[in-house]
């Protein structure tokens, strides 16, 4: 059977209520995502978070208060900070230091442009645990094209070097790479490059619809980045699975890569397995609203509620029911992919 036809079929339809029951059994979030800002210093072709409606974003002291509330509820947890571009907030190192002083594990996702040597070393000094940097291509002109900003490739390479060569010892440096039509040929090369340069993982993300647009299952039909050669997509995903089995530098499970084949063939179809959003994680937006999934309505407001009140609210149970029947395809992302899926291979 060719790679193109070796497609795991849909196993089952999501059973309404199944995921909600699981979420309730699992209990507290172990990972909390902070979307610290909707502001970004660039405007990538595959993301329009910067186009979201603006409001008054929280200040440092308000974020520290949210960290304290979450720590009171959960004890030490895993904090994943992203944006927009989180380093547009000059006070971000202070927030990271505050979380680290409570033994909270902190990772930050960034496009790398604002990370100069003094900032990288400061982050190491305050005990940042991991940095996740966007890299979509090893061809500078293509990375810069898709990131829509000349010089981005050069800056992310420099940021990697600042972390890896720091005298105080490095941290886990991960790459995040979005799968496009134009970078299929080099996805495995990126994994090799990461391994040779002693980075921890490269996590591959399927191209999805932009954040700020209303949901449209046919969005991909007008995307210049959508992979159009399905046989090549399958071969590449198989190569990444093989790479992962040998070297671990690929951050995606083989089951997840296999499920992506179904998505790339049927991007407007219903998901083939439940999304785990809100089961082990939760999220806070730049205004202090608390979420089980950023694409659904919030479950409360951490400026006026405790996280526990919001997490056990009627609204939270409504969101859990919505997640169990959600028809979108972001269940393929690492943070919400069900690891115990029947697609595991």
User: Which residues of the chain form contacts with ligand SF4 (CB under 6 A)?
Assistant: 40, 42-44, 47, 49-50, 83-85, 111, 275, 277, 293, 295-296, 323, 326, 328, 330-331, 336
Nearer to ligand SF4 among residue 43 and residue 197 (C-beta): 43
* Best CA proximity match to 275, nearest among 320, 321, 324, 315: 324
Q: How far is the CB of 101 from ligand SF4 (least distance, A)?
A: 27
Nearer to ligand SF4 among residue 47 and residue 260 (C-beta): 47
Give residue 260's Cα distance to chain centre: 16
Nearer to ligand SF4 among residue 47 and residue 128 (C-beta): 47
Q: How far is the CB of 295 from ligand SF4 (least distance, A)?
A: 4
Output Rg (C-alpha) for the chain, integer angstroms.
20
As a whole number of angstroms, the distance between CA 337 and CA 276 comes to: 6
Contact predicate 24/13, CB 8 Å: no
Nearer to ligand SF4 among residue 41 and residue 306 (C-beta): 41
Q: What are phi and psi of 286, to 5 degrees?
A: -65, -10
Helix ranges (H only) for the chain are 18-26, 60-74, 92-100, 117-125, 140-147, 152-164, 187-196, 230-247, 254-265, 307-311, 314-324
Nearer to ligand SF4 among residue 175 and residue 277 (C-beta): 277
Nearer to ligand SF4 among residue 71 and residue 319 (C-beta): 319
Q: How far is the CB of 1 from ligand SF4 (least distance, A)?
A: 29
Q: Is the dihedral of CA 6, 217, 327, 288 positive or negative?
A: positive
Q: How far is the CB of 15 from ligand SF4 (least distance, A)?
A: 15
As a whole number of angstroms, the distance between CA 197 and CA 139 comes to: 17
Nearer to ligand SF4 among residue 257 and residue 277 (C-beta): 277
Contact predicate 85/50, CB 8 Å: no
As a whole number of angstroms, the distance between CA 272 and CA 339 comes to: 14
Q: How far is the CB of 38 from ligand SF4 (least distance, A)?
A: 9
Nearer to ligand SF4 among residue 123 and residue 323 (C-beta): 323
DSSP 250: B
As a whole number of angstroms, the distance between CA 41 and CA 117 comes to: 19
262 three-class SS: helix
Q: How far is the CB of 129 from ligand SF4 (least distance, A)?
A: 20
Q: How far is the CB of 159 from ligand SF4 (least distance, A)?
A: 13
Q: How far is the CB of 249 from ligand SF4 (least distance, A)?
A: 22
């Amino acid at each position: 059977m060719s790679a193109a036809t070796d497609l795991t079929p849909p196993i089952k339809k999501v059973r309404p209520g199944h995921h909600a029951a699981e979420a309730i059994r699992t209990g507290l979030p172990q990972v909390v995502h902070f979307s610290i800002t909707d502001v970004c210093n660039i405007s990538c072709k595959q993301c329009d978070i910067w186009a979201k409606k603006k409001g008054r974003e929280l200040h440092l002291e308000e974020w520290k208060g949210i960290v304290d509330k979450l720590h009171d509820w959960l004890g030490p947890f895993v904090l994943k900070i992203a944006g927009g571009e989180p380093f547009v907030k000059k006070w971000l190192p202070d927030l990271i230091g505050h979380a680290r002083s409570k033994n909270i594990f902190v990772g930050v996702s960034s496009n790398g442009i604002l990370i100069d040597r003094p900032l990288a070393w400061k982050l190491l000094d305050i005990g940042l645990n991991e940095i996740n940097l966007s890299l979509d291509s090893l061809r500078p002109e293509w990375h810069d094209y898709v990131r829509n900003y000349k010089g981005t490739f050069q800056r992310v390479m420099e940021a990697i070097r600042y972390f890896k060569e720091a005298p105080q010892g490095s941290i886990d440096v991960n790459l995040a790479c979005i799968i496009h039509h134009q970078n299929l040929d080099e996805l495995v090369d990126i994994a090799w490059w990461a391994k040779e340069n002693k980075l921890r993982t490269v996590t591959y993300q399927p191209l999805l619809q932009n954040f700020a647009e209303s949901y449209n299952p046919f969005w991909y039909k007008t995307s210049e980045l959508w992979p159009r050669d399905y046989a090549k997509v399958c071969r590449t995903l198989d190569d990444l699975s093989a790479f992962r089995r040998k070297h671990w530098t690929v951050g995606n499970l083989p089951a997840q890569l296999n499920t992506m084949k179904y998505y790339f063939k049927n991007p407007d179809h219903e998901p083939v397995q439940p999304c785990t959003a809100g089961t082990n994680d939760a999220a806070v937006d730049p205004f202090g609203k608390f979420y089980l999934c950023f694409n659904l309505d919030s479950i409360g407001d951490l400026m006026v509620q405790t996280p526990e009140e919001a997490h056990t609210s009627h609204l939270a149970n409504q969101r859990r029911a919505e997640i169990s029947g959600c028809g979108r395809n972001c269940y393929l992302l690492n943070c919400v992919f069900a690891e115990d899926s029947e697609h595991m291979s």
